[in-house]
Amino acid sequence: MTAGTAGAAHTQRIREFKMPDVGEGLTEAEILKWYVKAGDTVADGQVVCEVETAKAAVELPIPYDGVVHALHFDEGTTVDVGTVIIAVDTDPGAGPVGEAPGEAAAPAEEDDAEPQGRQAVLVGYGAAPSSTKRRARKQQPGVPAQSEPVSAGLQAELNGRSAPAPAATPVAVPVAPAAPAAVVPVAERPLAKPPVRKLAKDLGIDLATVVPTGPGGVVTRDDVYAAAAPAEAAAPAAPEVAVPTAVAPVAAFDAARERRVPVKGVRKATAQAMVASAFTAPHVTEFITVDVTRTMKLVQELKQDPDLAGLRVNPLLLVAKAFLVAIKRHPEVNAAWDEATQEIVYKDYVNLGIAAATPRGLLVPNIKDAGAKTLPQLATELGELVATAREGKTSPAAMSGGTVTITNVGVFGVDTGTPILNPGESAILAVGAIKLQPWVHKGKVKPRHVTTLALSFDHRLIDGELGSKLLADIAAILERPKRLITWG
């Protein structure tokens, strides 16, 4: 068997599974838990690990049959999308796995090898086959040519593994120069990891202008910051309104009694989304205090209804229904702002988000086409949505496409708040605690169940009059829930 044939057979035998893009454009994920270890037998479709992205926790199935050859990362490690995380021996009966002839001389080719048939990513996710191969770097004037093991070491480092040892006696192979007429100048894409590319984009830095200092010409975070610093210094200063790009570190009074926890996953995504929403959409918040005594009586009656047996019936269910009926009366509130085209997109469907507090942070999954559902259907989906979110099993699809949201701060005993819009949505309704309070009812002061509602909305989409009418209608329905029938 020739060295080339042996190397090909070895590559086909050891199949490598790369971290897929499980969240529609996310650049990294944290490995929460491995369900297998080296030596375990796995089957096509078997879940091998659980990872947490910026949106949710997701279980990853392996697309191969065989025996686990190696796990490349420990639990708790954050891995870039496209990095190999597990290798599987698809032909364990062929004997021990050894190094194939010629493998040490070109490990980068093996790392980038990917079968042309089935891709080692989740269905519907991942990059195209052509995008997984890195182009050869163009020779720089005055820079000595790198040997193949150095390029292989660079590729291995980018994939999160230690660089392979270089060959003891590298042999230079003369290559005939290409005909000058066939050379076409091509601008090469700078080498950088996905998080570094995102940092450059956020700071408005063109990576092609950054001087790389990393191994093999890789652009690092420090390189991007260094490139940003001269640009800031050159900009004309405006003392009254200038905002520094670099944030000063938090001062420590007693570091021994302080804890630092890295912000990642769902909490990091939530923080970024809230900042973007708060400083992009002009928020307006209005409040109304309402007597919901009749709604509380209806909740007790519905709990005894055979048609709702086994379903979770609570005040939030009727608040959600009241919100949906009010939107039906004022459909203009159900819209989105398209910044790219400077258009308002009106939507003839309502995907109702429910903010849920989970151990991993705030999640806002939504009920698709909530406005078209009956009360039993709404109760079923609401119960499933909350349970799934608390278990940390909400899928990215369940958290996309929302149009409006409800946040129930009343469960924490809070009267009300000023909620921030979920990015891309037009309104969010905060429901406060329902308490017995003295209330004037039919000319007499009586103890009644009272709550305060707060509605935040995007003032680009919803004028004050429209927002006020929407909130007033929600309150009117909760005050007299029979309007669910007459208005619905």
Q: List pLDDT tens digits, range 321-337.
A: 999 999 999 999 999 99
Question: Tokens at residue 425, please?
Answer: 């949505």
> What's the whole-number mean pLDDT along residues 300-323?
94
Q: CA-to-CA distance for 273 and 422, rounded, in angstroms?
A: 8
Over pLDDT 90: what percentage of the chain?
42
Q: Please give the full DSSP string across 351-397, using - where no structure is assigned.
A: -EEE-EEETTEEE--EETTGGG--HHHHHHHHHHHHHHHHTT---GG
> What's the whole-number mean pLDDT along residues 420-428?
93
For residue range 110-167, list pLDDT tens digits in order. 444 444 444 444 433 344 444 444 444 445 454 444 444 444 444 444 444 444 444 4
pLDDT on residue 432: 97
Q: CA-to-CA distance for 240 and 223, rounded, in angstroms?
A: 29
pLDDT on residue 13: 83
**Single-letter residue type at 343:** E
pLDDT on residue 9: 56
CA angle 49, 55, 61 (to 5 degrees): 25
Q: CA-to-CA distance for 333 and 460, rounded, in angstroms?
A: 11
Query: Does pLDDT of 434 surpass 80?
Result: yes
Higher pLDDT, 246 or 222: 222
Query: Does pLDDT of 235 surpass 60?
Result: no
- In a 10 Å sphere around its CB, with 0-12 CB exposed, 13-18 middle and 19+ buried, how is residue 342 labelled? exposed
Tokens 């469907």, located at residue? 349
Range with the poorest average pLDDT among 180-184, 411-415, 420-424? 180-184
Higher pLDDT, 362 or 334: 334
pLDDT on residue 135: 47
| Residue 461 contacts residue 434 (beta carbons within 8 Å) | no
For residue range 267-279, list pLDDT tens digits in order. 677 777 778 888 7
How far from 299 is each of 309, 424, 468, CA to CA, in Å? 13, 32, 26
| Residue 270 contacts residue 362 (beta carbons within 8 Å) | yes
* Bridge pairing between strands 404-408 and 352-354: parallel
pLDDT on residue 54: 65
Q: CA-to-CA distance for 160 and 157, rounded, in angstroms?
A: 5
For residue range 367-398, list pLDDT tens digits in order. 999 999 999 999 999 999 988 888 878 887 88
Nearest to 110 by CA among 87, 79, 138: 87
> What's the whole-number mean pLDDT along residues 338-343?
90
Question: Tokens at residue 367, please?
Answer: 């009920």
* Bridge pairing between strands 66-71 and 84-89: antiparallel
Q: CA-to-CA distance for 388 and 393, rounded, in angstroms?
A: 5
Over pLDDT 70: what percentage of the chain?
73
How would residue 202 be classed by pLDDT, with cut points 50, 70 and 90? confident
**Dihedral-angle region of residue 344 (phi above 0 means left; psi in -120 to 50 means alpha; beta otherwise):** beta
Domains annotated for the chain, with CATH where assigned, are 3-125 (2.40.50.100), 268-486 (3.30.559.10)
Catalytic residues: 459
Angle between helices 315-329 and 464-479 (to 10 degrees): 140
Q: CA-to-CA distance for 53 and 58, rounded, in angstroms?
A: 8
Q: CA-to-CA distance for 466 and 330, rounded, in angstroms?
A: 8
